[in-house]
Amino acid sequence: MPLLKIENLSKSFGGLKAVSNLNIEINDKELIGLIGPNGAGKTTVFNLLTGVYDKSEGNITFGDKNLSGLKPYQVTHRGMARTFQNIRLFSDLSVIDNVKIAYHQRTSYSMASAIFRLPGYYSGEAEMERKALELLKIFHLEDKAQETAKNLPYGEQRRLEIARALATEPKLLLLDEPAAGMNPQETQDLMNLIRWIREQFKLAILLIEHDMSLVMGVCERIYVLDYGMIIAQGAPDEIKSNPKVIEAYLGEEVV
């Protein structure tokens, strides 16, 4: 059974059909790419998956549960976490607090133990601190744990956003243009990191990306979206030579 099953998903904004009849299946621990020209509706798909938008039609099944009508925080609780195209960190908070906030839903103690400083508070905080530092260590951010998030260099902010998403302990990680604004070397490092995350955390990853070297290098299967519709799907090599994809990206040949 697939981990995520999207069936006939559609979304209209007034008369504009941003996504129509979308069908995607993702299995456990798969690494899937979602590509397409600007304005194809990729981020809309993410927003539909995570409950930011309500879908117009169709079905999203995650695990064995339907995701209809859930709020974003409930979707996250079910095990789907995301990063954002334009980084959305808690920019005035420290790096470690960014991660601790994401641990809130899994390792929370009661408000009473917080206010009366009962033992639950101390053990809960200690556990969060330990887990957060462990995660930061993986992402080579442990030295900057007390740094304010907005003071990190761009590449580290991207890494922190991924770390924060992982702190929600997802089964499926959605990455929205993780390589945006990175140079080729950083992109190469990111590719290795993405592969490594998948192995280490045993999760499936769906990523939106414009950088073809990254998508082709790291994804097992690729869906190509154009004007809200899937125009091609398959292994990277098939996609590369698919005339429809070339047409969508480069335009038709004029004879």
Partner 1 sequence: MGKWMNRQSLVTILGVLLIYGIVQGSIFMDVMPPFVALTLIQICIYVILSSSLNLINGITGQFSIGHAGFMAIGGYFAAIVIVKFHGPLVLALLVGAIVSAVAGFLIGLPTLRLNGDYLAIATLGLGEIVRIIFLNTEYVGGASGFSVPKTINWTWAFGLTVLSILVMRNFINSTHGRACISVRENEIAADAMGINTTKYKIIAFTLGAFFAGLAGGIYANYMYIIQPMTFSFLKSFDILVMVVLGGLGSLTGSIVGAIVMTVASAALAGLPEWRLVITAVLLVAMMIFRPTGLLGTKEFSLSFLGKKGDKNAASKN
CA atoms within 13 A on the CB side of 162: 25
Cβ-proximal residues to 115 (8 Å cutoff; 6+ apart), any chain: none
Q: Are 172 and 4 in contact (CB under 8 A)?
A: yes
Distance of CA 185 to the CA centre of its chain: 22
Q: Which of the stretches 95-103, 151-159, 194-202, 212-220 binds partner 1 when contact is defined by CB under 8 A?
A: 95-103
Residues 98-127 binding partner 1 (CB under 8 A) are 100-109, 111, 114-117, 121-122, 124-125
Q: At its nearest, how many Å lie between partner 1 and the CB of residue 238?
A: 33
By CB under 8 A, the count of residues binding partner 1 is 43
Q: Are 27 and 205 in contact (CB under 8 A)?
A: no
Other residues' Cβ atoms within 10 Å of the Cβ of residue 182: 18
Q: At its nearest, how many Å lie between partner 1 and the CB of residue 73?
A: 5
Q: Is residue 207 within the footprint of partner 1 (CB under 8 A)? A: no
Candidate residues 53, 84, 201, 227; the one interacting with partner 1 per rule CB under 8 A:
84
Q: At its nearest, how many Å lie between partner 1 and the CB of residue 195?
A: 24
| 49 phi and psi angles, rounded to 5 deg | -60, -45
Cα–Cα distance measured from residue 182 to residue 205, given in angstroms and rounded to the nearest whole number: 20
Closer CB to partner 1, 25 or 97, in the complex: 97
Q: What string of DSSP letters covers 5-16?
A: EEEEEEEEETTE
CA atoms within 13 A on the CB side of 62: 21
Three-class DSSP category at 88: coil
Residue 66's H or E segment, with its range, is: strand 65-66
Candidate residues 26, 35, 49, 81; the one interacting with partner 1 per rule CB under 8 A:
81
Cα–Cα distance measured from residue 176 to residue 198, given in angstroms and rounded to the nearest whole number: 16
Q: At its nearest, how many Å lie between partner 1 and the CB of residue 180?
A: 17
Closer CB to partner 1, 121 or 227, in the complex: 121
Q: Which of the stretches 36-44, 67-75, 211-219, 237-245 binds partner 1 when contact is defined by CB under 8 A?
A: 67-75
Residues 153-192 binding partner 1 (CB under 8 A) are 164-165, 167-168
Closer CB to partner 1, 125 or 220, in the complex: 125
Q: Which of the stretches 24-32, 55-63, 86-94, 232-240 binds partner 1 when contact is defined by CB under 8 A?
A: 86-94
Q: At its nearest, how many Å lie between partner 1 and the CB of residue 117?
A: 6
Q: Are 162 and 190 in contact (CB under 8 A)?
A: no
What residues make contact with partner 1 under the rule CB under 8 A?
Answer: 50, 52, 71-73, 76-77, 81-82, 84, 88-94, 97, 100-109, 111, 114-117, 121-122, 124-125, 128-129, 164-165, 167-168
